[in-house]
Structure 1
Amino acid sequence: MPDDLYLLAGRYRLIERLGQGGAGTVWRAIDEILDRQVAVKQVRVPDALSPHQRAEFVDRAIHEARSAGRLRDQAIVLVHDVVLEGHQPWIIMDLVTGRSLDKVIKEGGPLPPGYVAGIGLRVLSALEVAHAHGMLHQDVKPANILLDADGSAMLTDFGIAVPMNAHGHSYGGAGSPGYMAPERLNEEPSGPSSDLWSLGASLYTAVEGRGPFERALPAAVAAAVLLHEPPYPARAGRVFGALLMAMLAKDPAARPTAAQVRQSLINLTGPETDPGRRHRLPGKRRGWLLPAALAAVVALGAGGWYAIGALAGQGPPMGRFAQAPDPCKLLSDTQAAEFMDGPIERTRTRTDECQLVVKLDAGAGAVRRLVVRAWAERPNGDFGGVEVAKRRFASEKTSRAAAQGTNMREAHGSVSDVAQVGESAIVQSSFKLAMTSSKSGTSTSTLLFRTSNLLGEVVWQRTDMPATAKADKETAIAAARLVSGALSK
């Protein structure tokens, strides 16, 4: 490899510039420590900022990228690292297979309603994870929805998400007018329903082949979002059409909740198109994946570069797990009762996640929460599932270690190795002050482990804790040993 290629942070060798847009420049790079390709997004800092404003913008970009890096879902393109060099933030992201929904629609026209509903379930899963972490995506649109080789959908551009209830940024905001909720165009506070509005607009476009507020000029699009109702989606059918119209309501309070949207989409797709399953694009639409000329796709609006993986042949071995086990079956209520004092409420929050919650009598809204996650890595190129999982684990360890320290209202401790949990494991604790307090907040201990090609995560969280409280890594470790033991049976 030529030595004159730019080396970012002493680690990421920039190979080629894949394109640039208003949000920044996207590069293909090699992570020289882990010897793998990554996507690097050079965030554009707006011009004409004062030194103080520039510092604020950079600090916010780094903080929000780090927050996005802690989001984990099969439908989220992972953020591995964020560095500051040359007075600019650089975001390092995963490489995945696929092509944007936007391009698929432009080249092939409208998609079948059932298939679009399946896409919606996957994207909704990603949004629910972000919302559970207090983050909004703010730029859900077809260009940021990636369809994998077998039709699975992923949501990209989590590089700079924003906290909930944030007002419009002083230095410009993300988003495209036709996919920005009315409250965002009015620079009012945003919430989860704003992202759901954008999801509804994206699914409308996929099933109809045109945007719900399509106009010739951006200003006319924005005016239509604020003042007009979209045409009823004729191709969607009565039930799906009614759901899309409800999601596009002007008033956030009138829109369905995420749980209501999920149930409606499940009813439209059936269990065979659950987001945890994987499907190919219908009919002739698979053809775009075959030519060698389509080995790489740049999605500047999505903030990433995506390489097409090997699509033929049996390839390298999978590993022990063809698919991840049900996380809700890895820890019984009896076992959980050893760590949680009180009646346990068990909820399957996502396909790969199960939450066990105890609500305490003392304290306003105080809870103890144990989260169990599990996902299986698949072969990628020349690497088998086990090697992919090892590299993912190593990358996670590096990324989490880099987050150590205090940033605004959140502090992260060091990353420690843990014995007797899977084949390798790490644990890290954090504390986040409550929005209305400087003395109490949420204490979290997160343990990540690997067994063969499977990665598991156990999160032990205690809300309404004093800032002086000691981190409780021991509970996360003990629960993880039980979960790891269940995998070996």
Structure 2
Amino acid sequence: MTDTALTQPLVPPDVPGHRVEGVIGAGGSAVVWSGTDAGGRRVAIKVPHRGRDELDRRQSVAEQQVLLAVQHEHLVPLRSVVPLADGREALVFDLVRGARLDGMVRSRGHLRPGEVVTVLTPLCEAVAHLHAAGGLHTDISAANVTVTPDGRPVLLDLGSARVAGREPGGVHGTPGFVAPDVRLGAEPDEAADVYALGAVAWFCLTGNGAPDTMTRLDHEIVVSHVGPELAGVVAAAIDPDPGRRPDAAGLARLFYDSVEPEAVEVVVGADVASALTHRLRADAGRDPAPAAPPPRRWRARVLGAAVVALPLLAAAAWALAARGPGASQELTSATVAPRAAAPTAATGSTTPAATGRRTVPVGSATVTAAGATAVPATAAPRVPSPPPSDEVLSDATSPSARARELIQALSDRRATALVERETSKLSAVHAPGSPSLASDRELLSGLVAQSTHWEGLRLEVAQAVFVSGSASEAVVRARVDWTAYVVVTGAGARADRPADIGRQLDFRLVRGAQGWRISAISAAPAT
């Protein structure tokens, strides 16, 4: 999926069972929205611009069955397919947060060969898993890869995937990552996905897409672009003859055997907000993943080289009520430190890293923001401040003089309403008839309908500044984080949710007889 500047306002679609929030990205065929399902899980919702014709509808049934069945830790899972009232179908995926690969490369110019191995090896294995299930991706590109806060490269946008052997259609893919045989009219197949993986490696090493040529490149030419370490592997993957390309599993082995994997230096750039997703590792209601092949030591090694010490950017606590396509953007750098153990494919338990080859030294990674002191990964959590008095809510000067205290007071009231599922308590947070009130009422209705509730949720204001306003209306820009909490289903199942870091949001406040209330929430403009 390619993000584009929106030329006109987009109206959030009505997706049954889901709260649709802001735009993550928009392309020529669909818009992807952030949202929340009835259980409170953060999701990405892909809605096509038009409905399917009868041929597409028949073909899509098989594709959806394949994608719903595929489970792999480096593939974003398709959660559900939701029919819309106008005949379109919304595809609901996990919302994966992290740093988008194309932004990382553009921020740095290129990645080192060992970093490319760390990223590409698990991606190749994920694509091999998809191929084994009878599926194709058809739009693998650097823009569709995100490195999550726990260091996993994840391949996104399975909404463009299809089953092998489907009826002919148009050319799909992102320029610079489309196989030459597909550009000439051949149907996408497994070899086309392998070409795209090679093109991703070329992009990581050079900052550009793969050469647009039907001629096999001389080895010296490839070396002059990507360097000697991975030249042979990349050349094999982007061979113009699809029959000469390795399969995805073979490509994973070639990448790993070529260069020692090393820690990835992640630079979060200006396009991060549009790329981000957050996969909760203990989602409630997730079906068990199918049995996986026995764990491979080489796979544990390469996964062990990709661990981000601290979350770079995560879901906004108040974004449950924010509707807006933008988001503030921060420039942050982090060194991805390796770990000595990684989850195995079969059990999710940890296995000692393989030995016998030199390893990247294990260390404590830090995240350093511009002008800030590095924070250790083991930094102690912030101690919650005591609940503020109601006086801050009535004081006309609070937005300008006590912005953080004011937003904290409103956040405390909102957390109480959400945990207790008490719609009546939302009137102490939101202005009557406001969009933010309608959003939270809808959220609570979904929780009640699903017999789901939250335990232990607290919203903590990390920072807040006065933007503009008067004694009756004001705008405060704030970042609100949320603590770890538990989702409890009607059947008594419990799922832990991790603490999360919010994004910058603009709170539009109005002051009435009962004091300050929220009238609207939107993503803060980029600075």
Query: If the length of structure 1 is used for normalisation, what is the TM-score?
Result: 0.53
Tell me whether 1:18 sits opposite 2:24 in the alignment. yes
Cα deviation per residue 1:416-459 (whole Å; 9 max; x = unaligned)?
xxxxxxxx9xxxxxxxxxxxxxxxxxxxxxxxxx9998xxxxxx
Kept in 1, the 8 Å contact 2:139–2:172? The answer is yes
Equivalent in the alignment of 1:129: 129
Amino acid at match of 2:244: A
Amino acid at match of 1:255: R
Kept in 1, the 8 Å contact 2:59–2:166? The answer is no
Equivalent in the alignment of 1:179: 177
Tell me whether 1:245 sits opposite 2:221 in the alignment. no
Cα offset for 1:144?
0.9
Cα offset for 1:173?
3.7
Say if 1:62 and 1:297 are closer, same or farther in 2 by CA, change over 3 A. Answer: farther
Q: Of residues 298, 309, 329 in structure 1, which corresponds to 2:274?
A: 298
Amino acid at match of 1:181: A
Cα offset for 1:262?
2.3
Structural RMSD (CA)? 4.1
Cα offset for 1:67?
2.0
Equivalent in the alignment of 1:421: none
Tell me whether 1:257 sits opposite 2:240 in the alignment. no
Cα deviation per residue 1:263-292 (whole Å; 9 max; x = unaligned)?
22222344x66xxxxx5x32xx44x28xxx
Cα deviation per residue 1:19-63 (whole Å; 9 max; x = unaligned)?
4211201112121x21222111102337xxxxxx72322443354
Equivalent in the alignment of 1:40: 45
Say if 1:115 and 1:244 are closer, same or farther in 2 by CA, change over 3 A. Answer: same
Cα offset for 1:306?
2.2
Say if 1:160 and 1:64 are closer, same or farther in 2 by CA, change over 3 A. Answer: farther
Amino acid at match of 1:178: G
Structure 2 unaligned runs (5+)? Answer: 1-10, 284-290, 301-344, 351-380, 382-449, 451-488, 497-527
Cα offset for 1:91?
0.5
Say if 1:248 and 1:373 are closer, same or farther in 2 by CA, change over 3 A. Answer: same
Equivalent in the alignment of 2:431: none
Cα offset for 1:95?
1.3
Equivalent in the alignment of 2:324: none
Whole-angstrom distance in 2 between the partners of 1:229 and 1:166:
31
Map 1:153-164; keep pairs closer than 5 Å.
153-164=153-164
Kept in 2, the 8 Å contact 1:39–1:95? The answer is yes
Whole-angstrom distance in 2 between the partners of 1:166 and 1:228:
29
Kept in 2, the 8 Å contact 1:62–1:89? The answer is no
Equivalent in the alignment of 1:79: 78
Equivalent in the alignment of 1:432: none
Cα deviation per residue 1:275-315 (whole Å; 9 max; x = unaligned)?
xxxx5x32xx44x28xxx98x6224xxxxx52599xxxxxx
Say if 1:242 and 1:452 are closer, same or farther in 2 by CA, change over 3 A. Answer: same
Which structure is higher in RCO with an 8 Å CA cutoff and minimum separation 6?
Answer: 2
Equivalent in the alignment of 2:453: none
Kept in 2, the 8 Å contact 1:120–1:199? The answer is yes
Say if 1:81 and 1:259 are closer, same or farther in 2 by CA, change over 3 A. Answer: closer
Cα offset for 1:109?
0.7
Whole-angstrom distance in 2 between the partners of 1:124 and 1:143:
16
Cα deviation per residue 1:355-377 (whole Å; 9 max; x = unaligned)?
xxxxxxxxxxxxxxxxx943379
Q: Of residues 204, 210, 213 in structure 2, which corresponds to 1:212?
A: 210
Cα offset for 1:75?
0.5
Cα offset for 1:151?
4.0
Find the residue that maps to 1:211 and give its secondary structure: coil
Cα offset for 1:10?
3.0
Cα deviation per residue 1:54-93 (whole Å; 9 max; x = unaligned)?
2322443354234212211110111101112121110001
Find the residue that maps to 1:178 and give its secondary structure: coil
Kept in 1, the 8 Å contact 2:16–2:82? The answer is no
Say if 1:72 and 1:8 are closer, same or farther in 2 by CA, change over 3 A. Answer: same
Kept in 1, the 8 Å contact 2:164–2:189? The answer is yes
Whole-angstrom distance in 2 between the partners of 1:19 and 1:178:
20
Whole-angstrom distance in 1 between the partners of 2:137 and 2:174:
13
Kept in 2, the 8 Å contact 1:6–1:14? The answer is yes
Map 1:191-206; keep pairs closer than 5 Å.
191-206=189-204
Equivalent in the alignment of 1:69: 68
Kept in 2, the 8 Å contact 1:83–1:91? The answer is yes
Map 1:219-230; keep pairs closer than 5 Å.
221=212, 224=213, 226-227=214-215, 229=217
Map 1:313-392; keep pairs closer than 5 Å.
348=295, 373-375=346-348
Amino acid at match of 1:244: V
Map 1:437-448; keep pairs closer than 5 Å.
none
Kept in 1, the 8 Å contact 2:25–2:32? The answer is yes
Kept in 2, the 8 Å contact 1:7–1:13? The answer is no
Whole-angstrom distance in 2 between the partners of 1:318 and 1:56:
38
Kept in 2, the 8 Å contact 1:58–1:88? The answer is no
Whole-angstrom distance in 2 between the partners of 1:122 and 1:35:
29
Amino acid at match of 2:247: T
Find the residue that maps to 1:75 and give its secondary structure: coil
Kept in 1, the 8 Å contact 2:23–2:34? The answer is yes
Find the residue that maps to 1:140 and give its secondary structure: coil
Find the residue that maps to 1:194 and give its secondary structure: helix
Kept in 1, the 8 Å contact 2:31–2:46? The answer is yes
Kept in 2, the 8 Å contact 1:79–1:94? The answer is yes
Whole-angstrom distance in 2 between the partners of 1:255 and 1:347:
26
Kept in 1, the 8 Å contact 2:47–2:90? The answer is yes
Structure 1 unaligned runs (5+)? Answer: 47-52, 214-220, 274-278, 300-304, 310-316, 320-326, 329-345, 353-371, 382-397, 399-423, 425-449, 454-489
Kept in 1, the 8 Å contact 2:33–2:44? The answer is yes
Equivalent in the alignment of 1:113: 113
Whole-angstrom distance in 1 between the partners of 2:240 and 2:172:
20
Whole-angstrom distance in 2 between the partners of 1:349 and 1:8:
44
Say if 1:451 and 1:245 are closer, same or farther in 2 by CA, change over 3 A. Answer: farther
